[in-house]
Chains A and B, each alone.
Chain A
């Protein structure tokens, strides 16, 4: 590539060359009328022209060499810049360059993926647009602190919301860059730790369940012996006295003992769901029996509708445990519904089955839904529930390799659905 200066020089050389040529022709034509004066004149004009041409050619060559060196240097610079761009573009962590007002100046591909947004929807926007409202104060605080030179070594945990509204948990490191001849900027290096956080949460939860199971088992076992003694002693007194009033009170003691016994039995079921005993079972009949058994909890204004299909659904499950799960779901539905309808639907889905229990009852608030399957969590009045029913149900279903889900709307009702594989998957029973 020729630079502008080189072109100009070559134009001048060309011009000088033409002049040189014209004079040379003129001199040659006038050779007949030769005299010393003309020779002198020709020499005086042609010599400087030739000299000029030579000097300019030499200069132009020198200039070309310098430009080539310059070109090489600038192409090396461009190469290295491309390399750095590539490095940043391919970095697994999201990299965001922010001005001190949190406006995004640049973002790499991982950053785009992390936010689920295109580059055009990130660059030029405030970084704070991607922070959920409840985390804004903390995000602003962190940026301000960093600009003032604090929290340099801190691994800041933050939450972003993606374009689809999903919350992403991230770990963030940052660097404030203060160039001598330009404005300061901040580089955020952001790692998506949503999956790790989820794995960690699951691990903690399973540890929590295990220790809760051990506690429940210990309590139940320790209480069972005194309960047995109370019951035997009550019977012993009952055999020895005939006073009707005493007999009446002994009956009440026995009844209280039975309530306590049912609680310890629940505790033990939760603590140790035990191995399941799957056998080929007609699920259609099982659902029908469960509906009949739960009927006792139905309030007068409530209608029950069953949609069990025309063909019986057969699958390999532990009938006792699945029966208990269904009765528990139905009982909850009946308790939540003063008026309206309970619908029980059995769906054959090929390799799996789904049994759903829908009610038109009170519905469940979202914050309660989140904790619904937690052991000892109950919204019932004291003495009306242990808060173990759904925890046990989920354990039972999980030990079949299935799952229970819930959808609910306050004031409209809830649907609980039990998904079960037709053939049990080998799963480890919860501790």
Chain B
């Protein structure tokens, strides 16, 4: 579990949990999102991610699909079962993964197709957080 920035500030920055077994992806996404003033925590697998969800406030879950152990869809389902209504972005090259999820499971999940570039991920994250906030208010 690596922490890219301090957990708290006067005006709370949106907390994003990045889950990917590839260290390069974790670092590069964290680097990019931090530079856009998000607070980023990362995890290498679903178990680590669940521990983060239990211990701190996360506004957005950004997870890879294919990982050793539980995959991204299973992580999202585990988070839902543990009552974390956190919106999620599923990063995958396998479009069918998303197509095959039933609608109930797809709820609150956005697909980010790999490979993606900086603009795509920033836009998807911004939209997802805006949706989330709109939903809460």
Contact = CB atoms under 8 A, between A and B. Distances in A.
B32 A232 contact: yes
A254 B117 contact: yes
Contacts of A105: none
Interface residues on A, range: 20 to 34
B100 A229 contact: no
Interface residues of B, number: 23
B69 interface: no
Contacts of B94: 217, 221, 268, 272
Interface stretch (A11-19, A186-194, A257-265, A307-315): A257-265
Contacts of B100: 275
Contacts of A268: 93-95
Contact of B114 (A225, A233, A277): A225
B93 A221 contact: yes
> Main SS of the interface on chain A?
helix
> Main SS of the interface on chain B?
helix
Interface in B89-122: 93-96, 99-100, 113-119, 121
B95 A229 contact: no
Contact of A236 (B31, B66, B115, B119): B31
Given A221-B66, A221-B93, A228 B114 contact: yes
B25 interface: yes
A265 B99 CA distance: 16
A76 B44 CA distance: 91
A257 B99 CA distance: 26
B115 A235 contact: no
Given A221-B93, A221-B94, A235 B24 contact: no
Contacts of A229: 22, 24-25, 28
A128 interface: no
Interface in A245-279: 254, 257-258, 260-261, 264-265, 268, 272, 274-275, 277
Please name the 10 residue pairs, one residue from A and one from B, whose CB atoms are nearest each other, closest first: A235-B118, A232-B28, A227-B115, A231-B117, A228-B115, A274-B96, A224-B114, A229-B24, A224-B93, A261-B115
8 contacts: A224-B115, A225-B25, A228-B25, A229-B28, A232-B25, A264-B115, A274-B96, A277-B99
